[in-house]
A = this chain, B = another copy of it.
Amino acid sequence: MNQTNTQGLDGVIAGETAIASVGKGHGLKYRGYDIYDLAKGASYEEVAYLLHFGKLPYKVNYQFYISTLKDKRLICEGLRHILEQIPATAHPMDVLKTGISFLGCVEPEKSDFSNQNECIERILAALPAILMYWYHYANHGHQISLDSNQKTIAAYFLEKLHRCEPNLEHVEALNSSLILYAEHEFNASTFASRVTASTLSDIYSAITTGIGVLGGPLHGGANEAAMDLITSYNTPEEAKEGIVKKLEANDKIMGFGHRVYKKCDPRNVVIKEIAKALSVGHKEEKLYYISEAIEKTMWDEKKLFPNLDFYSASAYHYMGIPTSFFTPIFVISRVAGWAAHVKEQRANNRLIRPNASYTGPEEKSFTPLSERGE
Contact = CB atoms under 8 A, between A and B. Distances in A.
Interface of A: 1, 3, 6-24, 29, 31-34, 37-38, 41-43, 46, 56-60, 62, 78-79, 81-82, 85-87, 90-91, 94-95, 97-98, 101-102, 104-106, 108, 111, 185-189, 191-192, 195-202, 204-206, 208-209, 211-221, 259-260, 350-369, 372-374
A151 B359 CA distance: 33
Contacts of A219: 199, 201, 351
Given A201-B213, A212-B208, A360 B14 contact: no
B196 A216 contact: yes
Contacts of A81: 81-82, 85
Give the 10 A-B residue pairs with the shortest CB-CB distance, closest first.
A199-B216, A205-B212, A18-B360, A201-B216, A32-B361, A14-B354, A8-B350, A32-B364, A9-B354, A37-B366
Contact of A208 (B18, B101, B185, B187): B101
Nearest to A200: B216
Contacts of A38: 366
A114 to B, nearest CB: 16
Given A13-B354, A34-B366, 10 more contacts: A6-B12, A6-B13, A31-B364, A56-B367, A57-B372, A58-B373, A94-B108, A199-B218, A206-B212, A260-B355
Contact of A6 (B14, B188, B204, B360): B14
Contacts of A11: 355
A365 B34 CA distance: 8
How often does this chain occur in the complex, in copies?
A: 2
Contacts of A91: 105, 108
A17 B356 contact: yes
A62 to B, nearest CB: 6
A62 B370 CA distance: 11
The CB with the most chain B CB atoms within 10 A, among A16, A82, A97, is that of: A97
A353 to B, nearest CB: 5
Nearest to A185: B356
Nearest to A62: B369
Contacts of A220: 199
A60 B369 CA distance: 10
Contacts of A199: 188-189, 213-221
Nearest to A91: B108
Contacts of A213: 195-196, 199, 201, 205, 209
Given A94-B104, A361-B31, A191 B354 contact: yes
A371 B31 CA distance: 19
A222 B210 CA distance: 24
A9 B353 contact: yes
7 contacts: A6-B12, A8-B351, A16-B358, A19-B360, A24-B358, A87-B106, A101-B208
A69 B219 CA distance: 33
A160 B126 CA distance: 35
B101 A17 contact: no
